[in-house]
Structures are given as structure tokens and as C-alpha cells.
Structure 1
Amino acid sequence: MTDYVSTTPGLFPLPDWAKDDLSDRKGHQKGDLISGDEGEEITAVYEDAREDVIDLQREAGLDRVVEGQLRWDDMLAHPLAVHDAVETRGIVRYYDNNNFYREPVVTDDLGFSGDVAGELESAADLTDGGLQAVLPGPYSLSDLATDEHYGDDAAFLAAVADFLAGEVEAFPDHETLFLLEPSLVETPPDDGADERASEAIDAVAAATDADVVVQPYWGALDEKVHAHLLDADVDAVGYDFVADHEANRYLLQEYGTKGDVALGLADGQNTLVEEPEAIRERADWVFEHLPVTEFDTVYLTTNTETFYLPYGKFEEKLAALAEAATLPEVTPA
């Protein structure tokens, strides 16, 4: 019997009260203060906001609870942006949208940081199970960064993977790890590099006993990239059925996937809130077009991060996902 699990890829919007509090702190602008050593007042705001978003997920009934990544002003680049071996330089457009991040330039060996592990420790203290860790995948993190130390794309990717694996080893107990890999879609790796990307994901996944989900988004994977990703020793691959449902359906039809699957069915960037029944109907539409429809676990999630959304709409999206996972299978009209 298939287990439907409601979750998100994290990177939540700040609660409105937290935005107001942070804007009152002199000098706090996006990407300005988050360096890993914020002052006590800033730290207290983020701690209270973390508690709010964890309570919200519990109240909504989500099966997996994330820390929220509210401090990640640099989005997926955050784990490098706060690292001692990294210099943050100019402002760079975050993929093809109106968000920006500080360019992380790696200038020395990427040793252990512990920044994300510390966040998860705090989150674990607020949960009673169902904790989900969130990280950028190694390919996307290396794609967002600039290397001025390792000197070779392959060596740099391997170093980023080793860095992330070391961070994961320090995580508290967690049920699921989501590795977010939009760069696999946005700037797909060339021949040879696609296999190295899969090996890098393997290295990170091997650092945890939790179920590992690799979630690309903002489109569909190239067929060869998809094939190499299926070779990775992970539990599930995600498919963005908001940005490109036909191409992702084709990948599943032609090449299959892992024993578990993650379906990006709610729009993480659009304020229109999907009805729970519509989310389940979309899942059923996917399965109706597959030769094999038996999965051990189906993760129902937004297709992208949700920091794009107004907080009230974000709350409604979480509730819709949670309810969708509890509904019986339905047949689309």
C-alpha cells in the first residue's frame, strides 16, 4: 500500500512579525547580516520565528517537519556563504527570477562548518519526530559558487560533496533528507559531468541513514541527466509537475524512477492556493499515465521553495498539502 507523505522543500518565508523586527535592526538588509555569528537580538528573532514555523507545520498536519531555513538569506548558497573558507562578494541573480544572493567564492579548503547542524539541533528540540533535513544538492551548490581554490570543476564538485557529507554526519536524527537540485534543470551538466553529479549526490546520501529525496525543479531533467540520477543511491527523485508536467510525465513513462517518488504538485511561487482534492487529482493523473503505479512512498510537496509566497498564502499551502495526503484516491473528472 502506498504511503502518501506531505512535506515541503523548506526555505520558508519569514513570519510578518519577524520581517518587521529584523527591518528595525539597523543595517539589516537581505544578505547583509547573516554570517553565522549574528548578534543576540538577531539570533533571538530567528529562534522565535523557527518555533513559529515548526508549530505551523505541526498544526497543519504535515508528515515531515523542516527547520524552515529562515536565516538562509542567500537561499541555497547559504551553507557556503557562512563558511570560514568562503568570501561573499557581489550580488548575483538567483536563477532566473527576482531574488538575489551574495556570490560565495571558495578560497580555501572546505572543512566542517556545523551551521546547518546547529539549526537542526534547535529544530529537533521542538519536534517529536518526523524531522526532515534540507540541503542544497552538491551540484547546485557548486554551480551557485565560484571556485578560487580547487582549480578544477570535478575537484570542486567532489569537495562540495565531501563538505555536505560532513555536515550531514553531524545532523541530529532525521527521517528524511531533501537535497534540492534545481541546477540539474537550469544548467544541466555535460557528458561526464552528469555522472560526476550523480556520484556527488551518492557521497552526500551515504552520510545519513534517513530516506534521501533529490528534488530538481523549474522544469524537467534532460534524459541522460535523469538516467544518471536514477543510478544514485537515493530513495526518491522529485518531479516538478507545476513547471512542466508533460516532460516530467514522459520521463516517468519512458524511464521509470525509484521505489519512492516526490511530486511537486503545489506551486511554491504562485499565490493561488490549490484545493487538497486538486492536489490529489494531479497525483492520480500522474499515476494514470504510468505503466507501474505502485510506490512505497509518494511525497506530496510544493515544486519549489516557498520563500516567494506571502506568509498567509504559505500557511494555506501547507494546510492544503497536509490534507491532500490524507484523502482517499480519487479519479479526475
Structure 2
Amino acid sequence: MTERIATTTGLFPLPDWAKDDLSDLKGHQKHDLISGDEGPEVTAVYDDARSEVVAVQQDAGLDRIVEGQLRWDDMLAHPLTVHDSVETGGIVRYYDNNNFYRDPVVVDELDFDGDVAAELESAAELADDVQAVLPGPYSLADLATDEYYGDDEEFLAAVAEFLAGEVEAFPSVETLFLLEPSLVVSPPEDGEDARASEAIDAVANATDADVVVQPYFGSLTEKVHAHVLDADIDALGYDLVTDHEGCLSNINEFGTTDSVSLGLVDGQNTLVESAETVAERVDWFEENTPVNEFETEYLTTNTEPFYLPYSKFEEKAAVLGEAARLEEVEI
């Protein structure tokens, strides 16, 4: 019997009150908040906001609880932008949307940092069944500028080694989501696709948690999909909102992991799906895949929900929790 787990990709929007409080802090500039040197007043706001988003997930009935990544103004680039070996360059468009991040320019060796582990320690004090969230190594390297390693292959390996070191410092977590939109948006070329798989493998092997690789903004090319399946991961994700037919084609042509993560709820659109609609999408997926007895199906947003107004994020989290319970009732 398939286990259905309601969760999210993390990277939540800030609660409205937290935005107001942070804006009101004397001398506050937006990107000062993610420098890693926040003052006690700013830290207190983030602590309270973290407690709130954890409670929102618990009230929604989500089976995996994420920290929320509320400090990640630079989105997936955050683990590098707060690193001592990185200088932040100019403002760069974040994939093909109206969000922007500071270009992380790597100017020295990427040694251990511990920023994300500290966030997870705080989340673990508030909830059980914690899910860690990180950028995948290919996406993080793609979002960064290398001015130290001097070779794309060496840089990707260094980013993977850095992320693996961060993962090793994590508290005990149930799952680790590696978010890999660049595998779709800027797919690796021949040779690089195998190295991307090896980089994911290096990060996945740093934890005993179940590892989910979540591409989004579309479906993977056939060759990249096949290479990602070579990595030692527990589940591969599919953005069924953006390109359900492409995702289905990959699965039926090349197979997939024993467990899968299904992007069922639109993380960029304010229209709130019903739990019944989400459950129907799961049914459609199972009916159209040759192997419909997966070990686990993660029901999640297709992208990070930080694009959404906070109230819409709350509603969509509740939909995911309810959809998983509907499936349990039907079984």
C-alpha cells in the first residue's frame, strides 16, 4: 500500500506582520537580514515567524514540517550568500520570473558554514517529523559565479562537497528535499549531466534521511532524467502543474524511483485548488503510470510558495494536508 505524505518544498513567504516588523527596525536594509549577523531584534522576529509557520503546517495536517527558510531572501542561493568565502555581486533575475537575488561570487574555498543546520536545530525544537530543504548542487552551482576554482567540473564537485558537509551537521530529520529547478531551466549538457548526478549522489550519501530530488518549472529532458535516476536517491519529483505530460512521458519511457514526489499545488498562482482536485490529480497520475504501487508519494507544491501572499500559502498548505487525508479515507 502506498504511503502518502503531505509536505511542501519550503521557502515560505514571510507572515505579513513579520514583514512590517522587519521594515520598521531602525537602520534595516532588506539584504542585511541574511548576512548571518542579524541583531537580537531581527533574530527575535525570525524566531517568532518560524514558530508561526511551523504551527501553520501542523494545523494543516502536513506530515513533514519544514523550517520555512524565511531568512532566505536570496532564495536557493542563500547557503552561498551567507558564506564567508562568498562575495555578493549584483542583482540577478531568479529564473524566469519577477524575483531577484544577489549573485553569490565564490572567491575562496567553500568550507563548512553551518547556517542551515542552526535553522534546523531551531525547527526540531518545535516539531517532530522535520524535513530539511536545500538547493541541489547543480542548481546552487548554476546560480553562483565561480572566481576561485576556475573549472566548471571542479566547481560543481566543490559545491556538492560543501552541501554534503552542511548535511552532515544536520540534526536528525525524516526527509531531505534537494530543490533542482536548474536541471529543467538550464539543463546540463553531455558529460555535465552525469556529473550533476554524481554531485546529487554525494549530497544524498551524507544523510540517512530519505532524499527527494525536486526539479520544477517543467519536466526534465529525457537524458537528464535518466542520469538523475542513477543517483542514490529515494524519490524523484515531478512538476505536474507545469508539464504533467512531459513528466508522465519520462516515467513511462525510463521508469522512476520506488517513491515519487508530486508537485500538485501551484506554488506561483493565487488560485487555491480544492483538496478534491489535488486527490484527482494523484488518481490521474497513478492511472497513467505503469507502476502505480509506489512505496511513498509525497504530495507537495510544485515550486517554492514564497511567490504567494501569506494567506494563500496557508490555504494551500491546508489543501495538501486535507488531500492526503482524503486519499487515506478512500483506501
TM-score range, shorter chain: over 0.9
Distance 2:231 2:190 in 1: 16
Q: Within 5 Å, which residues of 2 pair with 1:47-62?
A: 47-62=47-62
Matches within 5 A, 1:161-240: 161-240=160-239
Using a 3 Å threshold, how does the CA distance of structure 1 residues 329 and 38 change in structure 2: closer, same or farther? Answer: closer
Letter of the 1:254 counterpart: E
* Structure 2 residue 28 is the aligned partner of structure 1 residue 28: yes
Q: Work out whether residues 281 and 330 of structure 1, in 8 Å CA contact, stay in contact via their aligned partners in 2.
A: no
Alpha carbons 2:213, 2:237 under 8 Å: kept: yes
Shift of 1:330: 9.7
TM-score, structure 2 length as denominator? Answer: 0.98
**Runs of at least 4 residues off by over 6 Å:** none
**Residues in 2 aligned to 1:65 and 1:328: alpha-carbon distance in whole angstroms:** 20
Q: Write the distance in 1 (CA, Å) between the matches of 2:161 and 2:42.
A: 30
Q: CA separation in 2, counterparts of 1:133 and 1:88? A: 25
Residue 290 of structure 2 is matched in structure 1 by 291
CA positional deviation for 1:297? 0.3
Structure 1 counterpart of 2:64, which letter?
R
Q: Give the CA RMSD over aligned residues.
A: 1.1
Equivalent in the alignment of 1:276: 275
Q: Could you tell me which residue of structure 1 aligns to residue 257 of structure 2?
A: 258
Q: Distance in 2 between matches of 1:323 and 1:29?
A: 39
Question: Would the aligned equivalents of 1:131 and 1:176 in 2 still touch at CA under 8 Å?
Answer: yes
Q: 1:31: how far off?
A: 2.6
- Preserved contact between residue 284 and residue 329 of structure 1 (Cα < 8 Å): no
Larger relative helix fraction? 2
Contact kept, 8 Å, 1:280 with 1:330, in 2: the verdict is no
Residue 26 (structure 1) shift:
3.5
Runs of at least 5 residues in structure 1 that lack an aligned partner in the other structure: none
Alpha-carbon deviation of 1:27?
A: 4.2
Contact 1:284 1:330 in 2 (8 A): no
CA distance in 1, matches of 2:196, 2:166: 18
Structure 2 CA distance for aligned equivalents of residues 329 and 16 of structure 1: 34
Alignment partner, residue 132 of structure 1: 131
Structure 1 distance, partners of 2:259, 2:138, is 22
Q: Measure how far apart 1:103 and its partner are.
A: 0.4
Residue identity matched to 2:223: K
Distance 1:328 1:114 in 2: 38
- 1:105 equivalent in structure 2: 105
Counterpart in the other structure of 1:73: 73
Q: In structure 1, the residue corresponding to 2:326 is in which secondary structure?
A: coil
Q: CA deviation at 1:46?
A: 0.4
- 1:43 is matched with 43
* TM-score relative to the length of structure 1: 0.97
Given that 2:32 and 2:38 are in contact with CA atoms closer than 8 Å, whether structure 1 keeps it comes out as no
Partner-residue secondary structure (3-state), 1:4? strand
Q: Once structures 1 and 2 are overlaid, which stretch shifts more, 26-35 or 83-92?
A: 26-35
Q: Quick one: which amino acid aligns to residue 35 of structure 2?
A: S
Task: Please report how far the alpha carbon of residue 329 of structure 1 lies from its aligned counterpart in structure 2 after TM superposition.
Answer: 7.2
Letter in 2 for 1:96: D
Is the counterpart of residue 244 in structure 1 residue 246 in structure 2?
no
SS of 2:229's partner is: helix
Number of residue pairs the alignment of both structures matches: 330
Contact 1:280 1:329 in 2 (8 A): no
Q: Superposition pairs for residues 145-156 of structure 1, below 5 Å? A: 145-156=144-155
Q: Work out whether residues 33 and 71 of structure 2, in 8 Å CA contact, stay in contact via their aligned partners in 1.
A: no
> 1 CA distance for matches of 2:191 and 2:26?
48
Letter in 2 for 1:11: L
Q: 2 CA distance for matches of 1:31 and 1:39?
A: 13
The one-letter amino acid of 2:118's match is G
Paired residue type of 2:213: V
Identical positions, percent: 74
After superposition, give the CA deviation of every residue in 1:100-119 in whole Å (9 maximum; x if it has no partner): 00000000000000000000
